[in-house]
Amino acid sequence: MNFRTYSSGVLRLLSVLALSFPGTGFGEMAQLDDGDLASVSGQGGIYLSGDISINELGGPVQNSYFGSCADTSKKCGARLAYRLKEGGGWMVLDEIRGKFSFEGLTLRVRAVDDGFAGDGQLFNRDVLEIGLPNIVRYDSVEFKLAASSTARPTDPGFQQTDIIAVEMQGDVILEGNLLVFPTGNP
């Protein structure tokens, strides 16, 4: 079958289908004026779905500490270091790798104008609401939570104490919303 035969066959099929449904029409686009547009309501926000892979085979940095995941003498994966106070030690998520998929993560701005049913101060500002996806699918996700003397393993005096190692495989059900509150003055 060549392309010309295939494309003309598809056009014939579409023509037959369009003529088979006489009650179906194709609507035309019409411009809305300001008065008509004022009566339209909707919700703002973002709906996200996707797959995220993090260093499944090892990161791009190859040195005396990091390397390929196949090399058991080297550390493999991403590293995220954070300090809780100035002059303090470092908490790290180390050797982060794997893949996770999600559908239905939502982001929107929400006004909070109450005291959370008596649980908190009156708050009259916008917050970021992260709607958790119903199911998150983990595929060979691994990481370590650790305490470290330095942000990078290649810094002088580096010492790390691993606290917990996590391996995740399968589905996790997440329900609810996460609210992110701004800091500082409005």
89-147 pLDDT, tens digit per residue, is: 899 998 888 898 988 889 998 887 776 665 556 667 788 889 988 889 999 898 999 99
* % of the chain with per-residue pLDDT over 70: 72
Task: Dig out the tokens for 173 from the structure.
Answer: 């059900």
pLDDT of 172 above 70: yes
| pTM (predicted TM-score) | 0.54
**For residue 164, which of 143, 179, 141 has the smallest C-alpha distance?**
143
Task: Give the CA distances from residue 146 to residues 92, 151, 158, 159, 178, in Å, rounded to whole numbers and listed in that order.
Answer: 5, 11, 13, 10, 25
- 164/44: higher pLDDT: 164
Looking up tokens 């709906």 gives 47
How long a stretch of residues is the chain? 186
**Segment holding 10, helix H or strand E:** helix 3-20
- 161/7: higher pLDDT: 161
pLDDT band at 74 (very low <50, low <70, confident <90, very high): confident
What is the rounded distance in angstroms from the CA atom of residue 35 to the CA atom of residue 1? 55
